[in-house]
Amino acid sequence: MKAILLEQAGGVENLLIKEVEKPTIKDHEVLISTKAISVNPVDFKVRRNPAVIDMIMGKERPVVIGWDIAGTITKVGDKVSKFKIGDKVFGMVNFVGRGSAYAEYVAAPENHLAKIPDGVSFEDAAATTLAALTALQVLQPRVKEGDKVLIHAGSGGVGHFAIQIAKSLGAYVITTSSLKNKDFVLSLGADEFIDYRSQKFEELLTDMDFVFDMFNGDILLNSLKVVKEGGSIISLPTPDFSEEILAIAKERHVDLQFLMVQSSEKGMKTLAELLDKGTIKPHISSTFPLENMGDAHLQLESGRTVGKVIVTV
C-alpha cells in the first residue's frame, strides 16, 4: 500500500510517499481502506518539530502521521463486536499516539470509530473528527442553555464546529473572525460577529459565561477581561500560561484550563448523530489527493483556511 512517511522533522519535502506493508490488526481493531483524511494544525506542528513528534508519537522513525480518517472496513479483529466488513466508518484514531492515518489502509481500535450516517460523504465524515471532537469535548460539559459564549476564530476548523455545537446546546454565541468571513460564521448560527482586525472584543463584551480560546497570549489575557467572575475559559494551544494570566484568573475566580482532545467512541457516536440530524455540517475549503499532502499542509499553514482541509485517497 501507499503511505506517507516522515523520517525526520522539517518542511513538506520530508513527507515521502512510499510503498509499505499493510498494517496488521489486533483482536479489537479493524482494518480500514481509507477514502478521506482530514489535516489539522497538529499535523504540521508534528511534521516541523522533532520535540512534538517525540511527545505525541514517540521516538521511532520513520512515522506515518495523521489521525483523522473515513473509509470502509476490510477486515475485523477476532474480538470486534461493533462493526463488520463493508461498514463505512470515521474517527480520530489513537490520539494522542500513532494514528498512522496518511495511508491507504489504517488499523484502528473499534472504540475510536463510529458508522458514517447515510447520505454523509467520506470527505464530510473525515472532516468531522479531531476538530469537531475538540469542540464537543470542550463545550458539552461546560455550556448550558442561555450561556453567553465567546468563540475565537469562528471560521477555523475547530471554531466553525464550535459555533454549531454551542448553538445546539442553547448558547448565545459571539465569535471573532475577519470581515470577509462574517457571512460564513453568521450562517453557522453565530448571534454576533466581531471583526478582530478593526474591533477590540475586550472593549465590546462583558460578563461572558464561557470563552473558547485558540491563541493564548494577549488574546487569552484580554479574554479574562470579558469573562464574568466565576466563569470559565478553555485554551487549546498550550498548557503554558503566563504568571500574569494565572494571577488574573485566580483573582477573578475564573476556571482556566488547557484541553487536549482524546479519541472517544462516545464522542464519535455523538458527532455521527449530529451529522445525521443536520445539526452540524463541516465546511471543506480545499481538497487534495494523497500525492499532494505537502500542498495540504502548506494550505493549512497559511492560516487562511476556512473550515477544513481534506485529502482524498
CATH code, domain carrying 16: 3.90.180.10
Same domain, 108 and 24: yes
Number of domains in the chain: 2
What is the mean pLDDT of the segment spanning 61-77? Answer: 96
183 CB neighbour count, 10 Å cutoff:
9
Q: Which three cell numbers stand for residue 141?
A: 460539559
What is the mean pLDDT of the segment spanning 104-119? Answer: 98
> Would you say 313 and 35 are in contact if contact means Cβ atoms under 8 Å apart?
yes
Interacting residues of 60 by C-beta distance below 8 A, sequence separation 6+: none
Residue 303: pLDDT band with limits 50, 70, 90? confident
> Would you say 65 and 33 are in contact if contact means Cβ atoms under 8 Å apart?
no
Let me know if residue 59 belongs to a domain. yes
Let me know if residue 271 belongs to a domain. no
The per-residue pLDDT of the chain, averaged, comes to 96
Residue 52: pLDDT band with limits 50, 70, 90? confident
Q: Which three cell numbers stand for residue 16?
A: 515521502
Minimal CA–CA distance to 120: which of 287, 292, 271?
271
The per-residue pLDDT for 288 is 98
The per-residue pLDDT for 238 is 86
Long-range contacts of 108-112 (CB under 8 A, 24+ apart): 108/29, 108/30, 108/32, 108/69, 109/28, 109/29, 109/263, 110/28, 110/29, 110/30, 110/76, 110/77, 110/80, 110/81, 110/82, 110/83, 110/265, 111/28, 111/82, 111/265, 112/263, 112/264, 112/265, 112/268
- pTM, 2 dp: 0.96
Same domain, 177 and 136: yes
Let me know if residue 277 belongs to a domain. no
Same domain, 159 and 253: yes
**Does residue 282 have a cis peptide bond before it, meaning omega lies within 30 degrees of 0?**
no
Beta bridge partners of 310: 38, 287
The per-residue pLDDT for 60 is 85
pLDDT at 57 over 90: no
Domain extent at residue 302: 2-128+282-312
Minimal CA–CA distance to 154: which of 211, 108, 115?
211
Same domain, 76 and 153: no
Cα three-residue angle 189-95-74, rounded to 5 degrees: 95
Residue 10: pLDDT band with limits 50, 70, 90? very high
Same domain, 200 and 144: yes
**Phi, psi (5° rounding) for residue 250?**
-65, -45
Q: Which three cell numbers stand for residue 159?
A: 471554531
Q: What is the dihedral of CA 265, 232, 176, 203, to 10 degrees?
A: 180
Q: Which three cell numbers stand for residue 280?
A: 452540524
Let me know if residue 272 belongs to a domain. no
220 CB neighbour count, 10 Å cutoff:
22
Same domain, 120 and 16: yes
Radius of gyration of the chain (CA): 19
Same domain, 66 and 121: yes
**Does residue 80 have a cis peptide bond before it, meaning omega lies within 30 degrees of 0?**
no
Beta-sheet strands, E only, within the chain:
2-6, 15-19, 29-39, 68-76, 88-92, 105-109, 113-115, 148-151, 172-177, 192-195, 208-213, 227-235, 255-258, 284-289, 308-312
List the helix and strand counts (H, then E) for the chain: 11, 15
Distance CA 24, CA 42 (A): 26
Same domain, 249 and 217: yes
Minimal CA–CA distance to 178: which of 195, 159, 153?
195
